[in-house]
Amino acid sequence: MTIADTTELPARSDAGQGPVFDADEERRARKKRIEGIAKYVIPLAVMSIAIWYWDRIVVWNEIEPYILPRPGLVLQTLIEDWGTLSASLLITLQITGLALGVAVIGGVGLAIIFSLSRYAEMSFSPFAVILQVTPIVSIAPLIFIYIESRMVGLLLCAWIVAFFPILANTTLGLKSADHNLRDLMTIYRANRWQRLRYLQLPSALPYFLGGLKIAGGLALIGAVVAEYVAGTGGIGTGLAFRILEAGYRLQIPRMFAALILIAVTGVIIYATTSLIAHLALRKWHESALKRD
Amino acid sequence: MSVAPLGQRAPILHMREIDKTFTGGVVALRRMSLEVNEGDFISLLGPSGCGKSTALRLIAGLMPPTLGRIEWEGGQGAGDLGVVFQEPTLMPWATVEQNVWLPFRLRGQSLASVREKIVEALALVGLEKFAKSYPRELSGGMKMRVSIARALVTRPRLILMDEPFAALDEITRQKLNDDLLSLKAKTGATVIFVTHSVFESVFLSDRILVMAARPGRVIREFQIDAPYPRGMEWRTAKEYGEIARETSDTLHGALAPEAAE
> pLDDT, tens digit, for every residue of A27-69?
999 999 999 999 999 999 999 999 999 999 999 999 998 899 9
pLDDT tens profile A124-175: 989 988 988 888 888 888 998 898 888 898 999 999 999 999 999 999 999 9
CB contact under 8 A, B91 and A199: yes
B41 forms beta bridges with B191
Question: Do residues A95 and A212 both lie within one domain?
Answer: yes
CATH number at residue B191: 3.40.50.300
HEC string for chain B: CCCCCCCCCCEEEEEEEEEEECCCCCEEEEEEEEEEECCCEEEEECCCCCCHHHHHHHHCCCCCCCEEEEEECCCCCCCCEEEECCCCCCCCCCCHHHHHHHHHHCCCCCHHHHHHHHHHHHHHCCCHHHCCCCHHHCCHHHHHHHHHHHHHCCCCCEEEEECCCCCCCHHHHHHHHHHHHHHHHHHCCCEEEEECCHHHHHHHCCEEEEEECCCCEEEEEEECCCCCCCCHHHHCCHHHHHHHHHHHHHHHHHHHHHHHC
Question: Do residues B151 and B161 both lie within one domain?
Answer: no
Question: Do residues B144 and B175 both lie within one domain?
Answer: no
Task: Provide the residue range defining the domain that includes A160.
Answer: 71-288
CB contact under 8 A, A188 and B103: yes
Amino acid at B241: G
Domains in chain A, number: 2
Question: Do residues A112 and A39 both lie within one domain?
Answer: no
Task: Provide the residue range defining the domain that includes B135.
Answer: 90-155
Give me the pLDDT at residue B260, please: 41
pLDDT tens profile A176-195: 999 999 999 999 999 999 99
**Cα distances (angstroms) measured from residue B253 to each of A15, A185, A255, B244:** 64, 39, 84, 14
Among B84, B106, B114, B134, which would you mutate to test the A interface (most chain A Cβ atoms within 10 Å of its Cβ)? B106
Nearest by CB to residue B106, choosing from A190, A284, A285, is A190
Question: Do residues B72 and B193 both lie within one domain?
Answer: yes
CB contact under 8 A, B106 and A205: no
CA distance B244 to chain A (A): 31
In a domain, A248, yes or no: yes
Question: Do residues A160 and A34 both lie within one domain?
Answer: no
In a domain, B178, yes or no: yes
In a domain, A188, yes or no: yes
pLDDT tens profile B164-197: 998 889 899 999 999 999 888 888 889 999 998 9
Give the residue from B155, B178, B196 where a domain finishes: B155
pLDDT in tens, chain B (261 residues): 567 777 788 999 999 999 999 988 888 999 999 999 999 999 999 988 888 999 999 999 999 999 999 999 988 887 899 999 999 999 999 999 999 999 999 999 999 999 999 999 999 999 999 999 999 999 999 999 999 999 999 999 999 999 999 888 989 999 999 999 988 888 888 999 999 899 999 999 999 999 998 888 999 999 998 888 888 888 888 999 999 999 999 988 877 555 444
Question: Do residues B19 and B75 both lie within one domain?
Answer: yes
pLDDT value at A232 more than 80: no
| A172 phi and psi angles, rounded to 5 deg | -60, -45
pLDDT tens profile A59-118: 999 999 889 999 999 999 999 999 999 999 999 999 999 999 999 999 999 999 999 999
B96 to chain A: which residues are within 8 Å by CB?
A: none
Domains in chain B, number: 2
Helix (H, G, I), strand (E, B) or coil at A176: coil
Give me the pLDDT at residue B32, please: 92
Among A188, A195, A208, A209, which would you mutate to test the B interface (most chain B Cβ atoms within 10 Å of its Cβ)? A188
| Interface list for chain A against chain B, based on CB atoms closer than 8 Å | 178, 180-181, 183-190, 194, 198-199, 202, 205, 283-285, 289
How much is the mean pLDDT over chain A?
Answer: 89
Q: Nearest residue on chain A to B138, judged by CA atoms?
A: A284
Q: Nearest residue on chain A to B60, judged by CA atoms?
A: A187
CB contact under 8 A, B62 and A183: yes
Question: Do residues B161 and B74 both lie within one domain?
Answer: yes
For the CA atoms of B6, B8, B12, B14, the dihedral, rounded to the nearest 10 degrees, stands at 70
Asked if the peptide bond before residue B229 counts as cis, ω within 30 degrees of 0, the response is: yes
Nearest by CB to residue B93, choosing from A180, A189, A284, is A284
Amino acid at B146: V
Question: Do residues B225 and B116 both lie within one domain?
Answer: no
Among B53, B58, B93, B136, which would you mutate to test the A interface (most chain A Cβ atoms within 10 Å of its Cβ)? B93
CA triple A129-A132-A135, angle to 5 deg: 135
Q: What is the rounded distance in angstroms from the CA atom of residue B50 to the CA atom of residue B193?
A: 14
Give the residue from B136, B155, B174 where a domain finishes: B155
Give the mean pLDDT of A203-216.
95
Residue A62 DSSP one-character state: T
Question: Do residues A139 and A36 both lie within one domain?
Answer: no
Give me the pLDDT at residue A285, please: 84
CB contact under 8 A, B92 and A285: yes
Question: Do residues B212 and B248 both lie within one domain?
Answer: yes
In contact, A95 and A265? CB cutoff 8 Å:
no
Question: Do residues A51 and A124 both lie within one domain?
Answer: no
In a domain, A7, yes or no: no
Question: Do residues B130 and B219 both lie within one domain?
Answer: no
Question: Do residues A192 and A83 both lie within one domain?
Answer: yes
Question: Do residues B148 and B163 both lie within one domain?
Answer: no
In a domain, A3, yes or no: no
Question: Do residues B147 and B170 both lie within one domain?
Answer: no
Residue A221: other Cβ atoms inside 10 A: 17
In a domain, B1, yes or no: no
Q: What is the rounded distance in angstroms from the CA atom of residue A141 to the CA atom of residue A278?
A: 38
CB contact under 8 A, B135 and A284: yes
| Interface list for chain B against chain A, based on CB atoms closer than 8 Å | 57, 60-62, 78-79, 81, 83, 85, 87, 89, 91-94, 102-103, 105-107, 134-136
What are the residues whose beta carbons fall under 8 Å from the beta carbon of B133, sequence distance 6 or more? B95, B96
In a domain, B6, yes or no: no
| A29 phi and psi angles, rounded to 5 deg | -60, -40
Give me the pLDDT at residue B186, please: 87
CA distance B256 to chain A (A): 34
Q: In what order do the strands lie in the sheet with B27-37?
A: B27-37, B11-21, B67-72
pLDDT value at A7 more than 70: no
Give me the pLDDT at residue A287, please: 74
In a domain, A13, yes or no: no
Give me the pLDDT at residue A18, please: 62
CB contact under 8 A, B83 and A202: no
Give the residue from B109, B126, B155 where a domain finishes: B155
Chain Cα centroid distance, residue A180: 33
In a domain, B2, yes or no: no
Among B89, B101, B150, which would you mutate to test the A interface (most chain A Cβ atoms within 10 Å of its Cβ)? B89
